[in-house]
Amino acid sequence: MTKKIIGLLLFVSTITLAQEKVLLRLNYEKGDSYTMTMKMAQEMGMGEMTNNMDIQMEYDITNVSKDTYESTAKYTKMTMDMKQGGVNVSYDSTKKDEELDEIGKMMN
């Protein structure tokens, strides 16, 4: 029981120490375009459950006034490879329906 409590305290303290505040400032101008790429990789258990995702988005700045800005966002690409309980799911938004499996077709 004490090992579990010590493990939990170590886990919580590691998470709280790993976080820090960051202030990001960008000087947006009307007409600017940005591409954001997000990559996520998760592994739970001993490789029994994995989830890998890549997402690309394009931002177009449509209006800027003082401290506020307006933008439009468009998802341009998404890929996902997931394994859970012996089931593998693979999806790529750049593939045609014929190239996708049944689950990928449902996601499309």
Six-digit token string for 95:
């593939």
Instruction: Read off the pLDDT of residues 51-104 as tens digits, 9 standing for 90 and up.
Output: 899 999 999 999 998 878 899 999 999 888 888 877 788 888 888 878 877 777
- The pLDDT value recorded for residue 16 is 59
Six-digit token string for 29:
């101008």
Tell me the helix, strand and coil percentages in the chain, rounded to 5. Answer: 25, 50, 30
- The pLDDT value recorded for residue 11 is 66
What value does the mean pLDDT of the chain take?
A: 81
Question: Do residues 52 and 21 touch, judged by C-beta distance below 8 A?
Answer: no
Spell out the domain ranges in the chain. 24-107
Give the global pTM. Answer: 0.60
Type of residue found at 98: E
Question: Do residues 107 and 91 touch, judged by C-beta distance below 8 A?
Answer: yes
